[in-house]
Amino acid sequence: NAGVTQTPKFRILKIGQSMTLQCAQDMNHNYMYWYRQDPGMGLKLIYYSVGAGITDKGEVPNGYNVSRSTTEDFPLRLELAAPSQTSVYFCASSLTGGAGANVLTFGAGSRLTVL
Amino acid sequence: AQSVTQLGSHVSVSEGALVLLRCNYSSSVPPYLFWYVQYPNQGLQLLLKYTTGATLVKGINGFEAEFKKSETSFHLTKPSAHMSDAAEYFCAVSFSSGSARQLTFGSGTQLTVLP
């Protein structure tokens, strides 16, 4: 099994450009998440999805959009990129819902630089 | 509101020495606690978790953590460090009720193992 696959691994954007970070999982997990990781700040939740067609905002959603048309895919779109969006982005998924004992499976990350 | 504090953003130990990474949490209800590890250029992987029951939890690669309610702590330990333990470690907290968004990560501790 591939687990959680993210593409691209690296990307440089100019201010104002747009792009989509792709995320796919093959574990039939209902829940999927997008986090960003900034140095010394831990992981912050951007958006999450509890199933196909259902998404909701996390802690830091501004400047991002998501969609979930299938169970497998959860792309993250950046509109009008800004330097503040320079970060490492992680996609994750989990089988069970709720905030309890569910364990997240993470992708390898996408490093985005906005110049 | 829940929060996680990891004391020490960088910890260095000699190979063979005790590893102690500190994590304190605040939560108004009984927490679920996690330690994740991130090796260079990889996503996060679960090391261990505490849900209910035994307060001493054993994880992969010889790591363990003890849930101490009176101290609101969940420190991670390993008796003898190995070079391969060099990585960043994240403590996280959630609780039994609540939505999928309510998993809170600490800011991380970078562990360096010296030869």
Taking the CB of residue B66, how many other CB atoms lie within 10 A of it?
Answer: 15
Q: Which residue out of A43, A87, A88, A96 would a mutagenesis test of the B interface target, given it has the greatest number of B Cβ atoms within 10 Å?
A: A43
Q: Please compute, for residue A3, the number of CA atoms within 13 A of its CA located in the half-sphere on the CB side.
A: 14
Q: Which of A25, A29, A23 is nearest to A50 (CA)?
A: A29
Least CA distance to A108: which residue of chain B?
Answer: B43
pLDDT in tens, B44-103: 999 999 887 888 999 999 999 999 999 999 999 999 999 999 999 999 988 766 565 678
Q: Is A60 helix (H, G, I), strand (E, B) or coil?
A: coil
Mean per-residue pLDDT, A2-10? 93
Q: Which residue out of B35, B101, B109 would a mutagenesis test of the A interface target, given it has the greatest number of A Cβ atoms within 10 Å?
A: B101
pLDDT in tens, B27-57: 777 788 999 999 988 889 999 998 878 889 9
